[in-house]
Amino acid sequence: MSLSDVLSPFSAWKNLFRDPVTIPDPLNDRPGAPRYRGFHQNDVDKCIGCGTCEAICQNAAIDMVAVAEIATKQGDSGLRPRIDYGRCCWCALCVDVCMTSSLSMSNEYKWVDHDPDAFCFIPGVDLKHWDSAELGYRRPEGHRLTGTERVPMGELEPEARADSFVEIVAGYDIEQAKLEADRCVSCGLCVATCPTHMAVPEYIATIRDGDYEQGVRLLYQTNPFSNVCGRVCTHRCETSCAARHEGDAIAIRWLKRHIIDQVPHDRIKQIAAEGRVSEPSRHQVAIIGAGPAGLTAAFDLAKAGHGVTVFEALPAPGGMMRYGIPEYRLPYDKLDEDVDVIRSMGVEIRCNTQVGKDVSIDQLREQHDTVLLAIGLHQGRSTRIPGSEHQDVVSAVELLRRITFGERFDVPTTVAVIGGGNVAMDIARSLARMQRQQHGQVGVTLVALEAEDLMLADREEIDEAREEGVVILPSRGPRRCLIERDAVAGLETVHCVSVFDDQGRFAPNYDDSDIQIHDAGLIVEAIGQAADHALLGESLTEALEWERNRIRIDADGRTSESWLWAAGDAVQGPDVITAVAAGHRIAASMMEAFAGTSAQTH
Amino acid sequence: MLYQPDRSQYPSRKPDGSLDIDLSSGKYLKLWQGPQHPGITGNMSVELTVCGDEVVEGKTHVGYLHRGFEKLMERRTFIQCFPIVCRICVPEPDFNEYCYAAAVEELAGLEVPERAHWIRTLILEMGRINSYLMYLGGQAGALGQGVIGQWTTYVRDLMLDRFEELSGARIYHMFIMPGGVRDGLPDGFDQRMEETLREIESTLADVKDVMFNNAVFKKRTVGLGYIDPAIVDQYGVTGPTARAAGIAKDVRRDQPYLVYPELDFEPVVGQDSDVFTRADVRRRDLLMSVDLIRQILARMPRSGAVMAPLPNVLHWKIPFGETYIRGECSRGEYGYYLVTDGSGYPRRVNVRGPSYTHAMALLERLIVNCNISDVAALMVSLHTYPPEIER
Domain range list for chain B: 7-61, 76-389
* All CATH 3.30.70.3270 domain ranges in chain A, comma separated: 27-121
Check CB contact under 8 Å for B174 and A91. yes
Whole-angstrom distance, CA of residue A426 vs CA of residue A25: 72
pLDDT in the model for residue B38: 54
Amino acid at A302: A
**What are the φ and ψ backbone dihedral angles of B159, each rounded to 5 degrees?**
-65, -35
Check whether B380 has a pLDDT greater than 80.
yes
Res A413 pLDDT > 60: yes
Secondary structure in 3-state letters for A153-175: CCECCHHHHCCCCCCCECCCCHH
Q: How far apart are CA B206 and CA A8, in angstroms?
A: 10
pLDDT in tens, B169-210: 999 999 999 999 999 999 999 999 999 999 999 999 999 999
pLDDT (mean) for A427-436: 93
Q: Answer with the residue of higher pLDDT: B166 or A30.
A: B166
Q: CA A162, CA A173: separation in Å to the nearest integer?
A: 24
* Interface residues of chain B, partner chain A, Cβ below 8 Å: 76-77, 79-84, 147, 154, 161, 164-169, 172, 174, 182-183, 186, 206, 209-211, 213-216, 218-219, 305, 307, 310-315
Give dist(CA A286, CA A372) in Å, integer: 6
Length, in residues, of chain B = 391
Q: What superfamily would CATH give domain B76-389?
A: Cytochrome-c3 Hydrogenase, chain B (1.10.645.10)
Which positions ≥6 away from A339 have C-beta within 8 Å? A290, A295, A317, A318, A349
- A138 in B contact zone (CB under 8 Å): no
Of A232, A320, A287, A299, nearest to A531 by C-alpha is A320
The answer to whether residue B14 scores a pLDDT higher than 90 is: no
Q: Where in chain A is the domain with CATH 3.50.50.60?
A: 284-379+559-594, 380-529
For chain B, strand residue ranges (E) read 28-33, 45-51, 54-61, 176-177, 180-181, 321-329, 332-340, 346-352
Count of beta carbons in the 10 Å neighbourhood of residue A533: 19
pLDDT tens-digit readout, A97-107 = 999 999 999 99
Whether B165 and A35 lie within 8 Å, measured CB to CB: yes
Smallest CA–CA distance, residue B305 to chain A, in Å, is: 9
Taking alpha carbons only, the member of A397, A376, A432, A388 closest to residue A528 is A397
Could you report the per-residue pLDDT of B291-347, keeping only the tens digit for each? 999 999 999 999 999 999 999 999 999 999 999 999 999 999 999 999 999 999 999
The whole-angstrom separation of Cα A507 and Cα A505 is: 6
Task: Flag whether residue A36 sits within 8 Å of chain B, measured between CB atoms.
Answer: yes
Beta bridge partners of B30: B49
Q: What is the pLDDT of residues A81-93, one digit of tens each?
A: 999 999 999 999 9
Cβ neighbours of A93 in B, within 8 Å: 79-80, 82-83
Backbone angles phi, psi at A76, to 5 degrees: -145, 115
Are B213 and A5 a contacting pair, CB within 8 Å?
yes
Count CA atoms closer than 13 A to A507's CA, side-chain side.
Answer: 5
Using the predicted structure, report yes or no on whether residue A240 has a pLDDT greater than 80.
yes
A17: closest CA of chain B, how far (Å):
15
Contact (Cβ atoms closer than 8 angstroms) between residue A339 and residue A295: yes
Tell me if B131 sits within 8 A of B155, measured CB to CB: no
Integer angstrom CA distances of residue A582 from A291, A340, A554, A593: 12, 21, 12, 16
> Is B87:B172 a contact under the CB 8 Å cutoff?
yes
- Strand A487-500 relative to strand A476-484: parallel, antiparallel, unpaired? antiparallel
A33 → closest Cβ in B165, B219, B314: B165
Q: Which residues contact A224 (CB under 8 A, 6 or more apart)?
A: A272, A295, A296, A299, A338, A341, A342, A580
Q: Give the tens place of pLDDT for each residue, A295-334.
A: 999 999 999 999 999 999 999 999 999 999 999 999 999 9
Q: Is the pLDDT of residue A601 over 70?
A: no
Residue A27 at interface with chain B, using a CB cutoff of 8 Å:
no
**How high is the pLDDT of residue B208?**
94
Give the integer Cα–Cα distance in Å for B75 and B97. Answer: 18
What one-character-per-residue DSSP string does B249-289 give? --HHHHS--TTGGGS-------SS-SHHHHHHHHHHHHHHH
**CA separation (Å) from B350 to B69, B105, B334, B342?**
9, 16, 11, 18
Report pLDDT digits (tens) over A475-486.
Answer: 999 998 999 888
As a whole number of angstroms, the distance between CA A448 and CA A418 comes to: 6
Q: Which amino acid is at B377?
A: A
B contacts of A89 (beta carbons < 8 Å) = 83, 172
CATH code: domain A284-379+559-594 is 3.50.50.60
Q: What is the 8-class DSSP label of residue A440?
A: S
CA distance to partner chain A, nearest, from residue B14 (Å): 41
Mean pLDDT in residue range A399-414: 89
Across the interface, whether the CB atoms of B80 and A58 are under 8 A apart is answered yes
The CATH number of domain A158-272 is 1.10.1060.10: yes
Any chain B CB within 8 A of the CB of A359? no
Q: Which residues contact A119 (CB under 8 A, 6 or more apart)?
A: A84, A85, A86, A111, A113
Q: Under the phi-then-psi rule, with left for phi > 0, alpha for psi from -120 to 50, and beta for the rest, what region is A389?
A: alpha
> Phi and psi of A79, rounded to 5°?
-90, 155
- The rounded mean pLDDT for chain B is 90
Average pLDDT score over chain A = 91
pLDDT in the model for residue B1: 45
State which residue of chain A sits closest to B178, comparing Cα positions. A145
- Chain A residues in contact with B82 by the CB 8 A cut-off are 91, 93
CB-nearest to A35 from B79, B186, B211 is B186
User: Which strand (E) or helix (H) includes residue A348?
Assistant: strand A348-350
Name every residue whose Cβ is closer than 8 Å to that of residue B112 and which is 6 or more positions away in sequence.
B105, B179, B180, B308
The class that CATH gives domain A27-121 is: alpha beta
The pLDDT of A238-262, averaged and rounded, is: 94
Mean pLDDT of B97-126: 95
pLDDT at B362: 87
pLDDT for A501: 85
Are B80 and A145 in contact (CB < 8 Å)?
A: no
Residue B31, sorted as left (phi over 0), alpha (psi -120 to 50) or beta, turns out to be beta
In this prediction, residue B39 carries a pLDDT of 58
Minimum Cα–Cα distance from A23: chain B residue: B154
Q: Residue B80 and residue A97: Cβ atoms within 8 Å?
A: no
Phi, psi of B277, rounded to the nearest 5 degrees: -65, -40
Calculate how close chain A gets to B215, using CA atoms only, in Å: 5
CB-closest option in B79, B168, B307 to A56: B79
Cβ(B94)–Cβ(B86) below 8 Å: yes
User: Is the CB of B214 less than 8 angstroms away from the CB of A93?
Assistant: no
Alpha-carbon distance of B384 to B366, in angstroms, equals: 14
Identify the architecture of domain A380-529 in CATH: 3-Layer(bba) Sandwich (3.50)
Residue B41 pLDDT grade (very low, low, confident, very high; cuts 50, 70, 90): low
- Measured between alpha carbons, how far is B190 from B166 in angstroms, rounded to an integer? 11
Q: Taking phi first (over 0 means left), then psi (-120 to 50 degrees means alpha), and beta for anything else, what does residue A568 get?
A: left
- B-chain CB neighbours of A20 within 8 Å are none
